[in-house]
Amino acid sequence: MPNIKVQPSGNIYEYEVGKTLLEVLLEEGIFVDNPCNGKGLCGKCKVRILEGELSEPEDTERKLLKQEEMENGVRLSCLVKPETDLEIELMQKERKHQVLTGGYIPSFAFDQDIQKIVVEIQKPTLEDQTSFEDQILRQIPKASLELGCLQMREFVSGQVTVVLHGNQVIQIEEGNTTEKMYGVAVDIGTTTVVCTLIDMLTGKELAHASMINAQKHFGLDVLTRITYELEHPEDGVEKLQKALVNSINEMIEDICCQAEVSKEWIYEIAVGANCTMMHMLLGVPATSLGRSPYAPVFVCGKDIKAKEIGLCAAEGARLYCLPSVSAYIGADIVAGAYVCQLQKESGNVLFIDIGTNGEIVLSSHGRLLCCSCAAGPALEGMNISSGMRAAEGAIEDVTITESGIEWKVIGNEKPIGICGSGILAVVKELLRVGLVRKEGAFIKLNKLEESDYRFHMLQENGKKREFILSEEQKLLITQGDIRQVQLAKGAILSGFLALLKKAGIQMEDLDKVMIAGQFGAHLPADSLVGTGIIPKEVQEKLVYVGNSSKTGAYMALMSAKVKREMEELARQMDYMELGATENYERLFSECLIFPNVK
């Protein structure tokens, strides 16, 4: 078999001829960005060929690569099928990503499902042969005991700690272990997964860990991953589940190590996630979520043994998955709505989670309406020609002044790309200085005097105009990039307005607009308003709530009442399918127009 040497690690892998280079690398667990899942559309899966022979690039590849890149041996790994020994260099480094863990939390009383009770087990005698089980049940009459707990235990006498989940005994431990009771709150996003270790006795957060969702190998967005399931009926569901479970287990190891806690003391794991991630975590096929009419297999909260899906914690630990509403209003949004206490609002409050999908919930005098709009991944820095996720080296803010273009880079490094907040800031600035018109097109270069400070910021590439963000790093903002932001804006704003219309209220009736989500938190109000994603009228009413999905998981872990209320809230949320609302297309195209901010 031929082999591939991968730089910079220098590792060598044998491979089977017939697969694309991207497939070979992903199978070896080597990360190569592949937003279009190897379909030859996105142009992101670049690698540099250092040695070895490959067939000449065809038209598709030529269109996606710059001349200069081809001269330097750059190829798109999904479009080449190697046959001989190769040496390649990876072009995207996995960098430390910015992940949000904290956030707003309402006050609530702790009443955990998990409890520990110490009982005294008498040594049996010939006169009293009361069983171990009966001795426990006499001391905790409400408890019910599964055979599994007894299978974990020999007959011991003396102090024994009974771990209860509600009234169910889930574990029996020798001695008094009541001082050790931990849980893990998890937020599974399509892009990142966040875990927090909680001391369930005090509610204190002890350690955090986060990582990029390991399912990235199967595609960057949920639809591509669903397609992967469809195309791999034999093991797709299992592989996607394993990727998530392994990531969570890895993070559990990490947080336990940070806090010097044994994972044997973790009795409950609570998870907030979108509906697709929840299906995939539980090993339930998600294919119905990817095609009309988008019916999920389940939406109710799930309470199962953590080990049933391979999570590493205490032997009897439970896994609680928060409830969802529909395919596109998942448990992460129910958690967010709960954390913002939308069900208790007496006025009009709008909640928006900005990500690849913008999910919006409107609470209007106690009525809860929600919708989901396909914003696309632009606001996460994806599908943008120089785009990248919010990681070191990403431009996160841009200002255009008469003396030039200023930017802020994550980690204060040299810029290598632009992330979601950066692209939004550029578009806001381009609109402000009049280089982009409200319809979304760059102005013509001949409309500018050569002495105008903006003249040298634009260039013409054939018929296309481009904004030169960094000459040195060759970072450009293309007309296509502006279009991506415009589509995201149109989607979110139209969802926003459609909900107001359905509830029969006006913009000025809104008391608060709450911005949630990993990405929302990094999008400043002036960019959201400057690009028209959020109307100017509510700028003063914006409240950032952080990662409310993980906060919801934390609250569920610490309170059985919260779990019940979340289930109730999910049932109360009325889902509105935007595409099915009257005149939606017209509303959407009106919402594509950028605001006049000059």
**Binding site residues, ligand FES, CB under 6 A:** 34-36, 38-45, 76, 78
SS3 content of the chain, % helix, strand, coil (to 5): 35, 25, 40
Decide the pairing of beta strands 182-188 and 266-273. Answer: parallel
Beta bridge partners of 196: 185, 208
Q: How many residues does the chain have?
A: 598
Name, in order, each residue with C-beta under 8 angstroms of 455's C-beta and a sequence gap of 6 or more: 445, 448, 449
As a whole number of angstroms, the distance between CA 308 and CA 319 comes to 9
Nearer to ligand FES, 34 or 135 (CB): 34
As a whole number of angstroms, the distance between CA 378 and CA 354 comes to 11
List phi, psi (to 5°) of 592.
-70, -25
For residue 3, give the 3-state DSSP assignment: strand
For residue 348, give the 3-state DSSP assignment: strand
CB of 148 to ligand FES, least distance (A): 45
Nearer to ligand FES, 40 or 285 (CB): 40
Nearer to ligand FES, 42 or 416 (CB): 42
CB of 87 to ligand FES, least distance (A): 20
Are 95 and 537 in contact by the 8 Å Cβ rule? The answer is no
CB of 4 to ligand FES, least distance (A): 17
CB of 38 to ligand FES, least distance (A): 5
Taking CA atoms, 300 is separated from 120, 277, 511, in Å, by 38, 14, 31
Beta bridge partners of 9: none
Count other Cβ atoms within 10 Å, centred on residue 309: 18
As a whole number of angstroms, the distance between CA 465 and CA 327 comes to 39
CB of 219 to ligand FES, least distance (A): 9
CB of 381 to ligand FES, least distance (A): 16
Tokens of 18: 């017939």
Nearer to ligand FES, 40 or 290 (CB): 40
CB of 209 to ligand FES, least distance (A): 28
CB of 62 to ligand FES, least distance (A): 13
As a whole number of angstroms, the distance between CA 336 and CA 319 comes to 20
Tokens of 24: 């070979």
Nearer to ligand FES, 76 or 457 (CB): 76
Nearer to ligand FES, 40 or 535 (CB): 40
Nearer to ligand FES, 79 or 207 (CB): 79
